[in-house]
A and B are shown apart, each in its own frame.
Chain A
Amino acid sequence: MRAPRLIVGTDLAKVADVAAAIERHGERYVTRIFTPSEIAYCREAPHLEAERFAARFAAKEAAAKVLRPDGAWPDWRSIEIRRQPGGWCDIVLHGIAAERAEAAGVVSMSVSMSHDGEYAIAVVTAELNEHFGGTT
């Protein structure tokens, strides 16, 4: 008998590395990694810009680990972190990431992010449907 299974991924990002990348590569870095809505949110609070970008980069990497891309990096913008009015965040997948999730049997994903000083961290979980879950 097969049962639903949960997969977890995590990633830690150094805020200073993200700030340095923004400083060195500017908009090319930002627009290569982040969607317009992510950029808009991160820039709402200029003093927290690098922390917010770092948390979202960690979330995208954590999601990529969950999707197990077999060595390929999904377009980072195909994994979007969307902040909800209540303050929590959801993951919205587009394009290649959405296709990969469907192929992997992912039925839902959750994300949690945090940042404090030098580091930002994210944890992503994915629930697989019964055809892709483990045996009981």
Chain B
Amino acid sequence: MTTSERIRQILRDHGRLAADAGTLGEDSDLYQAGLTSHASVTLMLALEDAFEIEFPERMLRRRTFESVAAIRDAVAELTSSPGLKAVS
């Protein structure tokens, strides 16, 4: 499963979107698709669990979670920075 596919699965489970996450374009606006502020929080926590990362404060911005592509870029940045990975 690719990173984008995993993100879409997490969006299905946690995003509470009005649209099917599988049909959204990579750059489709998730807020326009129904992502609420509270769902953004649970989405963030689910992404942290799935990818064993922790979003630092500088990335807690609306645009970090605005599209599948934006989330994929953020995950890629955090998984390539060992110092930012969560230690289990």
Q: Which residues of B contact A25 (CB under 8 A)?
A: 42, 45-46, 49
Which residues of chain A are within 8 angstroms of B62 by Cβ–Cβ distance?
Answer: 71-73
Chain B residues with CB under 8 Å of A57's CB are: 38
Asked if A29 and B60 make an inter-chain contact with CB atoms under 8 angstroms apart, the answer reads: no
Identity of the chain B residue whose Cβ is nearest the Cβ of A57 in the assembled complex: B38
Interface residues of B (CB under 8 A from A): 16, 36-39, 41-42, 45-46, 49, 57, 60-63
Contact of A21 among B37, B42, B49 (CB under 8 A): B42
By DSSP majority rule, is chain A's interface helix, strand, loop, or mixed?
Answer: helix
User: Is A82 engaged at the interface, CB distance under 8 Å to the other chain?
Assistant: no
Residue A11 is within 8 A (CB to CB) of chain B in the complex: yes
A interface, size bucket: 20 to 34
A47 within 8 A of B: no
Structural contact, A73 and B38, CB atoms closer than 8 A = no
**Are B16's CB and A17's CB within 8 A?**
yes
The answer to whether B42 and A24 touch across the interface, beta carbons within 8 angstroms, is yes
Shortest beta-carbon distance, A70 to chain B, in Å? 9
Cross-chain contact B45 with A17 (CB below 8 angstroms): no
User: Given A17-B16, A25-B45, A72–B38 Cβ distance below 8 Å?
Assistant: no
Query: What residue of chain B has the Cβ atom nearest to residue A25's Cβ?
Result: B45
In angstroms, how far is the closest chain A Cβ from the Cβ of B45? 5
| Distance to closest chain A CB from B59 (angstroms) | 10
Closest 3 pairs (CB-CB, A-B): A73-B60, A71-B62, A25-B45
Is A29 a contact of B38 with CB atoms below 8 Å? no
A50 within 8 A of B: no
A115 at the interface (CB under 8 A from B): no
The residue that A13 contacts in the complex, of B38, B45, B60, B61, with Cβ under 8 A, is B38
